[in-house]
Amino acid sequence: MRHRKRGKILSRKVGPRRALFRTLIKNLILYSQIKTTEARAKSLRPKVERLINIAKSGELVARRKLFAVLQDERLVKKVLEVLAPQYKERRGGYTKIIKVGPRKGDAAKMAIIKFV
């Protein structure tokens, strides 16, 4: 039973799933919007919003936590200097998921996730 287990498995083992989310988070921060499947976008949203909440404190601990996830100093700097001040007054809901049509090849439900 999966009681109290968070998140979708997305047909991947732990390592590849972490790598998938890391690249999705990096691309979302870098380009501020990405097109992906609906399931991935819904699973990605809480992870990104948690990172923004960490960055809003702006302390050294926040920088280290962000670097542990993003592993890129440019992205950490962008989150701390651009995104965190932008959402300083906002209490949550930093991302928006827009559903688009099915993918041509396999008819998977697609969505665009972007910052509000």
| For range 69-83, the mean pLDDT | 96
Note the pLDDT of residue 4. 85
Has this prediction a pTM greater than 0.85? yes
Sole residue written with tokens 């691309």: 27
**Segment 18-30, tens digit of pLDDT:** 999 999 999 999 9
Give the list of residues 6+ apart from residue 76 with CB closer than 8 angstroms, or none. Answer: 63, 66, 67, 70
**Segment 42-66, tens digit of pLDDT:** 999 999 999 999 999 989 999 999 9
**Domains of the chain and any CATH numbers:** 14-33+40-93 (3.90.1030.10)
Residue 53: HSE in the Cβ half-sphere, 13 Å Cα cutoff: 10
Give the list of residues 6+ apart from residue 100 with CB closer than 8 angstroms, or none. Answer: 35, 110, 111, 112
Distance between CA atoms of residues 45 and 91, nearest Å: 15
Residue 102: strand, helix, or coil? strand
